[in-house]
Amino acid sequence: MTQGVLEGKVALITGAGRGIGRAVALAFAREGASLALCSRTSKELLETEKAAADLGVTTVFQTCDVSRAGDVEAFVTRAIGTLGRVDVLVNNAGVAHRAASLLELSHDEWDDVLATNLRGAWLLARAVIPHMVRQRCGSVINVSSWLGRDALVGYGAYGVSKWGLEGLTRYLALELKSARVRVNSVSPGYVATKMTQYRGGKAEDVVELFVYLASDASASLTGQQLDVETWKRDFGIRKR
């Protein structure tokens, strides 16, 4: 049997109960990674855990709201306590908001989106990266959007959160370069999940780039904004 490219690695994935996070978790499991998974809904997490266990990998899962520092610290402590290390962090948990201009959004709507999509990624980075620095290796993958590189009327708070995530990616990559911890962002394209009311392409079709960024094949890549479709085209693996 051939070894998976993530054999021996431990990956921590937020928002892994459904959608892109679940698809990435199962792709990593197929490549042999052990997994630490979180989201706020235990029933969905359990389903992902069962599917990963069927693929023969060790999985730890815990409900965790990524915007809460205490939840994040408890999750990361348990993951590392159980699995011993963490090689890959996928900051995938995210929420959108109703279509409304920035001036129409309520305080709570703005805070909810920024707290999950931006503060959450920073809290995870803060909790996980010191372990990667001690290991002298690690890969952080921030799930962004083309709205973090452009603008669309009606999606301002979401867009600002993703522009912030792109900034977080660049700053962390710069700060961590000599520590051999790399930080990149991925724009997955339009994917059929609960967030898009199940319109768009299949989540399974965006996972190759995540596997590549988690693997040693991308060891020299940091501070990059990657787009799934462009990457597939450049690497010639677009599905026929």
Ligand X SMILES: NC(=O)c1ccc[n+]([C@@H]2O[C@H](COP(=O)([O-])OP(=O)(O)OC[C@H]3O[C@@H](n4cnc5c(N)ncnc54)[C@H](OP(=O)(O)O)[C@@H]3O)[C@@H](O)[C@H]2O)c1
- Element (DSSP H or E) covering residue 184: strand 181-187
* Other C-beta atoms lying within 10 Å of the C-beta of residue 151: 12
Range 118-147, binding ligand X (CB under 6 A): 143, 145
Sign of the four-CA dihedral 35, 206, 200, 26: negative
By C-beta, is 46 or 153 nearer to ligand X? 46
Q: Which of 116, 139, 215, 222 binds ligand X (CB under 6 A)?
A: 116
Query: How far apart are the two ends of the chain, measured CA to CA in Å?
Result: 27
Q: Is 212 a catalytic residue?
A: no
By C-beta, is 149 or 180 nearer to ligand X? 149
Q: How far apart are CA 2 and CA 42, in angstroms?
A: 33
Look at the block and give the residue holding tokens 């724009």.
Answer: 187
Three-state secondary-structure class, residue 186: strand
Q: Which of 19, 156, 159, 164 binds ligand X (CB under 6 A)?
A: 19
Q: How far apart are CA 4 and CA 194, in angstroms?
A: 30
CB of 113 to ligand X, least distance (A): 9
Q: Which of 65, 73, 109, 229 binds ligand X (CB under 6 A)?
A: 65
Q: Which of 57, 93, 113, 127 binds ligand X (CB under 6 A)?
A: 93
Residue 194 binds ligand X, judged by CB under 6 A: yes
To the nearest 10°, the Cα dihedral for 188, 190, 194, 199? Answer: -150
Interface region with ligand X, contact rule CB under 6 A, candidates 9-17, 100-108, 129-137, 149-157:
9-17
Q: Which of 15, 138, 159, 164 binds ligand X (CB under 6 A)?
A: 15
**Contact residues for ligand X, defined by CB under 6 A:** 14-15, 17-21, 38-41, 44, 64-67, 92-95, 116, 143, 145, 188, 190-191, 193-196, 200
